[in-house]
């Protein structure tokens, strides 16, 4: 079960409770899932019971108990624990199943994975000064707003609504990709660094790590084709469900959280007009992806198996997120690097 599917499952539990007369409340448009906080447990947590308590005129713990009973009957849900004032902590039946479903969803949607309707039908007016960083940030915000069903209009003049700290010098000598990264990666209130560090082809350069990870994935897909196998989501074949050697059995693969979080990051970057959040998220995806890549192809006389196909599918999904994210920032995702 993917996070999106689980969100719909929780929403369905609310609707069923309303239909049964257990809750007298209008169901929310969407249910937000997070990682369990301190004192929590399971794979995901939601505060939906706390949100519904007041309009339902019932105590939060009572609402949580009603929803817990409904969720325990849902496919893919192993357990639901109520913690604190009414948080629902949900455990899924198998972490590998969650990751497999997530990989399938990303591969189906490709670079449009994470697109939503948070700004559907809305027009966002971005009024910026005549300054290079402001123009670049506004362009990236407009691209990201479109992923959430909105439309951005970029204007100039007062009153300015988007004014990032200006670049200290012209970034054009860095080239289009490095220049955009230099302007978009820092938070708007931070002064960008216009230095040759953005051109270094080593791991100390964040942009290089992201583009290198994507290029490596594309190379692995080509190499796998030459070896006669293609990607297929499934169990990764490492010890337990750890996802890579050296991890404790039963823990999710390091890529699971950043991939699952991608839709929320896009939604937040759009509504907060903050492309820097997407830039930092892509770096987190790349850093979680790079250790997996040496384990994708068979070694020596080893024959390609289901685990290799599953690892290739996971790498391919992460590569799609990187390519889609870089495109939204206006940066090229090269096939070769």
In a domain? residue 112: no
pTM above 0.85, yes or no: no
Same domain membership, residue 298 and residue 230: yes
> pLDDT tens string for the chain (337 positions)?
678 888 999 999 999 999 999 999 999 988 989 988 888 888 899 999 999 999 999 999 999 999 999 999 887 788 999 999 999 999 887 655 678 989 999 999 999 999 999 999 999 999 999 999 999 999 999 999 999 999 999 999 899 999 999 999 999 999 999 999 999 999 999 999 999 999 999 999 999 999 999 999 999 999 999 999 999 999 898 743 344 544 444 567 899 989 999 999 999 999 999 999 999 999 999 999 999 999 999 998 899 999 999 999 999 999 999 999 999 999 999 999 8
3-state helix, strand, coil in the chain (%, to 5): 50, 10, 40
Both 169 and 82 in one domain: the answer is: no
Domain span holding position 314 = 202-328
Domain closes at, from 93, 111, 146: 93
- Cα–Cα distance for residue pair 174/181, rounded to 1 Å: 10
**Same domain for 179 and 291:** no
The Cα 277–Cα 328 span in angstroms is 12
* Amino acid 292: pLDDT: 96
Is 324 found in the same domain as 270?
yes
Which class for 83: exposed (0-12), middle (13-18), buried (19 or more C-beta within 10 A)? middle
- What is the tally of structural domains in the chain? 3
Residue 95 has a pLDDT of 57
| Spatial CB neighbours of 304, under 8 Å, sequence gap ≥ 6 | 224, 227, 228, 229, 297, 298
Q: Is 269 a member of any domain? A: yes
Q: Are residues 243 and 153 in the same domain?
A: no
Strand partners, 45: 34, 89
φ and ψ at 131, to 5 degrees? -150, 140
Quick one: 173 and 207 in the same domain? no
pLDDT at 153: 97
Distance of CA 58 to the CA centre of its chain: 34
Do the domain assignments include residue 104?
no
- Same domain, residue pair 227 and 132: no
Same domain, 217 and 154: no
27 in a structural domain: yes
Which pLDDT belongs to residue 173? 96
**CATH number for the domain harbouring residue 232:** 1.10.730.10
What is the number of H-type helices and E-type strands within the chain? 10, 5
Q: 266 in a domain, yes or no?
A: yes
- 197 is a domain residue: no
Distance of CA 279 to the CA centre of its chain: 11
Based on the fold, state whether residues 141 and 253 are members of the same structural domain: no
């Amino acid at each position: 079960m993917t996070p999106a599917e689980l969100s719909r499952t929780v929403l369905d539990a609310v609707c069923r409770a309303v239909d049964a007369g257990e809750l007298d409340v209008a169901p929310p448009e969407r249910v937000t899932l997070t990682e369990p906080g301190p004192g929590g447990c399971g794979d995901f947590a939601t505060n939906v019971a706390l949100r519904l308590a007041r309009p339902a005129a019932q105590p939060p713990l009572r609402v949580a108990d009603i929803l817990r009973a409904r969720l325990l009957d849902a496919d893919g849900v192993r357990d639901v624990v109520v913690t604190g004032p009414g948080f629902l902590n949900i455990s899924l039946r198998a972490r590998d199943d969650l990751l497999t479903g997530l990989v399938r969803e990303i591969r189906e949607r490709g670079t449009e994975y994470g697109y939503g309707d948070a700004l559907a039908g809305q027009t966002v007016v971005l009024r910026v000064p005549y300054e290079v960083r402001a123009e670049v940030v506004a362009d990236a915000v407009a691209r990201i707003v479109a992923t959430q069903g909105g439309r951005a209009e970029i204007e100039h003049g007062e009153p300015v609504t988007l004014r990032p700290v200006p670049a200290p010098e012209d970034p054009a000598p860095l080239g289009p990709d490095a220049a955009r990264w230099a302007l978009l990666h820092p938070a708007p209130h931070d002064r960008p660094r216009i230095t040759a560090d953005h051109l270094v082809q080593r791991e100390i350069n964040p942009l290089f790590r992201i583009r290198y990870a994507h290029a490596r994935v594309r190379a692995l897909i080509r190499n796998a084709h030459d070896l006669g196998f293609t990607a297929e989501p499934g169990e990764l074949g490492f010890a337990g469900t750890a996802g890579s050697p050296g991890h404790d059995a039963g823990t999710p693969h390091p890529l699971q959280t950043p991939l699952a979080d991608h839709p929320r990051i896009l939604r937040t970057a759009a509504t907060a007009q903050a492309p820097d959040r997407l830039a930092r998220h892509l770096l987190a995806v790349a850093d979680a992806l790079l250790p997996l890549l040496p384990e994708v192809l068979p070694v020596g006389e080893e024959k390609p198996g289901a685990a290799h196909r599953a690892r290739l599918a996971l790498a391919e999904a992460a590569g799609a997120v990187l390519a889609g994210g870089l495109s939204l920032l206006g940066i090229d995702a090269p096939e070769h690097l």
